[in-house]
Amino acid sequence: MTAGVASCVTNAVGQGCIAIGMEQIAVHGQIPGLVRRPAWSGGDGSMWIPMQNTPQHPRTNENETTGESTTSVDSGRVGRPMLYLARTTPWVVDRTDGCPAGAGARSLPRVAASPRGAVARGQRALAAMATAAVLLGVSTVAAAQSQNGVTVLGTHCGGGPGLPPSLGVSDGLNLGHTSVLIARNMPAPAVGALVAGWATDQWGQFTLPLSLANMGMSGCALYVRPDAIEMFSSESSFAQWPLPVPYVPVLLGAHLGVQVLFADQQANVAGFGATPGLSLRIDPPPTDTVLTTQFTHNGITFVFARPAYVGQFVTGDWFVVGPVQIVDMLPQVADVGGRIVNGAMIDPDPSTVNQGYDSGLYTAQFANYYVPALNRALGVTAQSPLLLQPGHALVKVESLLNPPGVANLRRAAVLTCLDEVPFAGSFRPPYAGTDHRVRYHVGMIDWSQLAQLQPAPGMPLPADIAARLNLPWLDHCPSWLGRMMHPSEHMPDYGRDLAAMVGEAALIANCAIPEAERRPVAIGLVQFGIDCYGNLTNGCHWSGLGGHASGRKLPILFAGRLLGDNAMLAIGQNYVSQRLPSGQTSSYFGEDTQTFVVQQTAPGVYNFGFGGYGPGDVGLAEWGFSHVDSPQNDHAGWTTDSYRICCTVNGWLGNVLAARIMGLTAQWNHQVLFDYTDRYLGIETTAWHRAWSPWTDAMWSLYRPRF
């Protein structure tokens, strides 16, 4: 039987009313499944989430005339109405829904209540208490403890003997999944109300939490805006509520607040106690997994001793729920004419050039940087498996035996070992360093941070850029030697070319093209930013040297902007590349280490005495081959150093323009880069000197005047 009701109470001065819609589900002899409902109601802009009961033979009392209903359950088993909880402005009903004549727009938040009997008396008392809290309450301070999307708000008051009353949830809230909310340690038999709402910081004009001391509930506070109140009774000291969340993506990232108020004659003068509040973040569902003994990705195969659950991150990289024993990796590590190829590393250290991938990676001249102990592919067999523990990343490569260029690796795959299945759409953690916790997923991306610009003619195919960006860009070597580590099928080896592709990707992401085309590009660039940030915070640096080391800063800022990560956005402040007049240096990003403002560094001495600069050059935005580390390589002559025009700004300009478009110049925190880029492009007219990517130059001409 299904019956609908909307009831309301007025506030203390009789102005306006708020209604909460309830639909009672009574299914005899079975537990109903999730009833899918729209995630919005009418055209008023309100957002709703359905919360449906899964009753275990509840006793339902229903008024056949009004359709009003309550539910009581024995032994802690609770069956309950489906509540439509307003996420935004609550629904204001008119006179036909029972509000008094002349009721106007709401001036104070209110709650709805209309059951009867002992529970009805408790609900009326709680409804009155909620209204009084608005009129009399005083803000208090609540401590918050957060874990897995569940934040505990404040503390309890009252409760039964022994343990204090508590409120917990079986799992975090996930789209398309059901969790169970459990209130424990209330005085038995328990009678009270579940308060739920979409805010835990504000209730109308009042700040949450609200002290309830002025209502006789000393030590108690209201932590949740009461968008809905659900009455309950139980013969035991606990009660539970299923919390099914529909698969409605617009709910992703929303926070549902819950708190339980209960009758407790011993608690205080008012005779009520309360649990702490909870703020429950709605997250994506878990990633789909398969149970397998092996899988292949990007031509690289991992074989396990026993079946293990594996799945894919949003970019296609794989994870395994471990620990897991690896008995083989293909192509196998081998000795080819004295060169050890096809190696693997666990948690590469980006603070050193040492590596275990390939003994010929950096050519014979730098063979000493190959450390056999770092090659975790050596000796792996069924009899001697490699144990991969949760919290670690395994990077496996395939070498190029006859490289046509500088790069000596063909491709790479990253296998991240986790202790639990991550959210669907999660980004892979950084492959380098020691912290491999999953922190980000696509639902966290704020797509509104991207512009919607009309692309200039000649735009590269977004699918081609996305295909490369969604493969691992192996870049954890703090030296120009890192170009030899870049897998040739994934990424450019040279800094200029890498920066040019990053610039193209960032500009494509800011263009008004179909979302199916631009989002994979943006996702791939965010992943590269996550990896670059992992490398940076674990000791890597990219010092400019001619055309090397460009293009690593924008991806971090890009990821920080879209993910709302303040630590990423603070790299401009926390990782400053500069050479001080004292001679002290710090080098992190290529573009920043090569651009500087000419200044007098000592009385009568300009630019440390290098480059041929004089008093007339002070304040000039300038470039040097490796200015921060080696100012002796600076030259005032425009064409003295050919790298000025062949291999720097012509790769940077897409990064610079994208930073301007996205409002990231302050976060970049190196204004001279932007000034020098303007100066350079105001001088250079030769096409390839201006831009390695002709389309990027077209975008510059089209949008630099605007940004």
Cβ-based neighbours of 26, under 8 Å, separated by 6 or more:
1, 2, 55, 60, 62
What does the alpha-carbon distance between residue 205 and residue 17 come to, in Å, rounded to a whole number? 16
**Spatial contact of 274 and 262, defined as CB atoms under 8 Å apart:** yes
Of 403, 425, 443, at which residue does a domain stop? 443
Within a 10 A sphere around the Cβ of 145, how many other Cβ atoms?
A: 9
Partners of 441 in the beta sheet? 426
What does the alpha-carbon distance between residue 622 and residue 672 come to, in Å, rounded to a whole number? 8
What does the alpha-carbon distance between residue 227 and residue 18 come to, in Å, rounded to a whole number? 9
Examine the domain organization and report whether 70 and 214 are in the same domain: yes
What is the crossing angle of helices 553-563 and 495-509, to 10°? 20
**Spatial contact of 285 and 297, defined as CB atoms under 8 Å apart:** no
How many domains are there within the chain? 3
**Spatial contact of 372 and 344, defined as CB atoms under 8 Å apart:** no
| pLDDT computed for residue 201 by the predictor | 94
- Alpha carbon 589 to chain centroid, angstroms: 24
| pLDDT computed for residue 582 by the predictor | 85
Of 443, 472, 502, at which residue does a domain stop? 443
What does the alpha-carbon distance between residue 10 and residue 131 come to, in Å, rounded to a whole number? 9
The pTM of this model reads: 0.74
* Chain position carrying tokens 């009867």: 116
Q: Reduce the DSSP state of residue 147 to 3 states and report it.
A: strand
Examine the domain organization and report whether 479 and 418 are in the same domain: no
Examine the domain organization and report whether 179 and 40 are in the same domain: yes
Examine the domain organization and report whether 494 and 346 are in the same domain: no
Of 256, 283, 310, at which residue does a domain stop? 283
- H or E stretch covering 307: strand 300-312
Q: How far apart are the first and last CA of the chain?
A: 61
Q: Reduce the DSSP state of residue 532 to 3 states and report it.
A: helix
The pairing of strands 409-418 and 318-321 is: parallel
Examine the domain organization and report whether 195 and 257 are in the same domain: yes
232 by Cβ neighbours in 10 Å (0-12 / 13-18 / 19+) ranks as buried
Examine the domain organization and report whether 187 and 320 are in the same domain: no
Q: Which amino acid is at 592?
A: D
The pairing of strands 173-174 and 277-283 is: parallel
Examine the domain organization and report whether 215 and 144 are in the same domain: yes
| pLDDT computed for residue 249 by the predictor | 82
* Chain position carrying tokens 């009997």: 117
Examine the domain organization and report whether 115 and 258 are in the same domain: yes
Examine the domain organization and report whether 17 and 90 are in the same domain: yes
The pairing of strands 409-418 and 173-174 is: unpaired
| pLDDT computed for residue 162 by the predictor | 75
Examine the domain organization and report whether 224 and 301 are in the same domain: no
The series of mean pLDDT values per 10 residues for the chain, 707 residues long, is 27 27 26 28 34 32 30 30 30 26 30 36 43 37 58 90 88 89 94 95 92 92 94 92 89 93 93 96 91 96 98 97 98 97 98 97 94 97 98 98 90 97 95 95 94 98 97 96 96 97 98 97 98 98 96 98 97 96 92 97 95 97 97 97 97 98 98 98 97 98 98
User: Alpha helices, DSSP H only, in 161-292?
Assistant: none
- Does residue 189 have a cis bond before it (omega within 30 degrees)? yes
Q: Domain range holding 492?
A: 445-703
Examine the domain organization and report whether 694 and 577 are in the same domain: yes
**Spatial contact of 532 and 475, defined as CB atoms under 8 Å apart:** yes
| pLDDT computed for residue 99 by the predictor | 30
Examine the domain organization and report whether 327 and 248 are in the same domain: no
What does the alpha-carbon distance between residue 326 and residue 304 come to, in Å, rounded to a whole number? 4
The alpha carbon torsion through 132, 86, 201, 224 (nearest 10 deg) reads: 50
